[in-house]
Chains A and B, each alone.
Chain A
């Protein structure tokens, strides 16, 4: 029932980490080809993450471009103390927090409605999970997405969200409790 984590995932992580580190160094020397490559990697990753937070595409684009703009400017100061992905997602998180809070006077902060009505037709299970996630407070939802969608460790999420490790655990704990109520099917038929 209990399975140990596969040992291959860390090796895969290390290979892409090294490549991203190479890209950052090239960007520090104003290498635009490297910048374009990193942009395409992170556009996809950040768009997936941000689309869970807001349905407003223009906001998502703004956050992604401001994030990568910062990466272009600060690449030379990156010390490699954390993974490149933790650094970049941290910039995006802070930028998104600002944007979404500003935009929250127009739309709700945890506005997780799918981008279009067409999406609903794709998969019932998806609607079900999407609706439940949209019920979570912003910080709890972020912690959950950083953990499951982007695959960050507890310590990395603490760095990205600029909070203690225990706060991350607490946010995840509450997110899980709330989802358990919203998604009883998640725990299987035997659960009440």
Chain B
């Protein structure tokens, strides 16, 4: 137990962070800070080897796996039982028509994308290059290439808007997501009506622009109501 010396701050700093060097999840800033010490300290180097070995052993140790199917069935029964007893709060929230099940997948991806994107900058990019931003980043849902020839609107929500809120905003405006978000967090939405009129699209746009949770909304060129 002679490897740890309290007197050396750089050593302690490095020593404490070695598990995350070993599991490759250390913050890059932390790594930059401790790297000079790590390169010069044989005690820290030996500890890193020891911790990497411990990690290997723990990961290689596969306990008896419990078969999941029986538990899953139990839980699905519990969900089914819950759905037959709709609580008052659920009625309040879910008074409106439910979104197509596939749509909110995009909403969740958006939540992550929005966190790392400077919306205004990317909106500017969109203005410069429609093609770049309408290129589908994810292809599990309707891609822009298969959009029906109905008027479409591009929307960007504020970062702090939750998936639930986006769902609710669109429900209230009788709109649905048909594509997106792309890399810039831009959704393409359409009216849920099969043949929306120009005035319905105008009121959809007005509704979006009145909502302070919507950062930007623009009709998509070439899809205007006829």
Contact = CB atoms under 8 A, between A and B. Distances in A.
A149 B107 contact: no
A143 B4 CA distance: 20
Nearest to B115: A80
Contacts of A34: 105
Given A43-B68, A72-B79, A177-B1, A115 B63 contact: yes
A148 B59 contact: yes
Interface string A149-192: 10111111000000000000100110011011101001110011
B68 A39 contact: yes
Given A28-B104, A39-B68, A78 B16 contact: no
Contacts of A24: 108, 163
A29 B101 CA distance: 5
B21 to A, nearest CB: 7
B79 A29 contact: no
B76 interface: yes
Given A43-B72, A65-B75, A149 B59 contact: yes
A148 B163 CA distance: 32
A111 interface: no
Contact of B66 (A32, A60, A154, A187): A60
A32 B19 CA distance: 38
Interface string A126-144: 1001100100000000001
A119 to B, nearest CB: 7
Interface in A48-81: 48, 51-52, 57, 60-61, 64-65, 68-69, 72, 75-81
B75 A5 contact: no
Contacts of A109: none
Contacts of A169: 16-17
Contact of A115 (B2, B64, B99, B162): B64
A129 B58 contact: yes
A22 B105 contact: yes
Contacts of B53: 186
Interface string B31-55: 1000000110000011111110111
B104 A65 contact: no
A18 B20 contact: no
Interface magnitude class on chain A: 35 or more
Contacts of B71: 43, 61, 64-65
A132 B226 CA distance: 74
Contacts of B79: 32, 35, 69, 72
A25 B63 contact: no
Given A25-B107, A153-B25, A47 B164 contact: no
B3 to A, nearest CB: 8
A21 to B, nearest CB: 5
A77 B101 contact: no
A153 B49 CA distance: 19
Contacts of A149: 58-59
B221 interface: no
B57 A79 contact: no
Given A2-B39, A5-B24, A126-B61, A17 B108 contact: no
Given A52-B63, A79-B160, A192-B2, 16 more contacts: A23-B105, A25-B104, A25-B106, A26-B105, A26-B108, A29-B99, A39-B68, A47-B66, A79-B163, A115-B64, A133-B58, A147-B25, A147-B55, A148-B55, A154-B17, A187-B46
21 contacts: A5-B24, A18-B112, A18-B138, A21-B109, A24-B108, A25-B108, A29-B98, A30-B101, A51-B63, A77-B164, A80-B108, A115-B63, A119-B63, A126-B57, A126-B60, A129-B57, A145-B58, A147-B25, A148-B54, A154-B27, A173-B16
Interface of B: 1-2, 4, 15-17, 19-27, 31, 38-39, 45-51, 53-55, 57-66, 68, 71-72, 74-76, 78-79, 98-109, 111-112, 114-115, 138, 140, 160, 162-164, 167
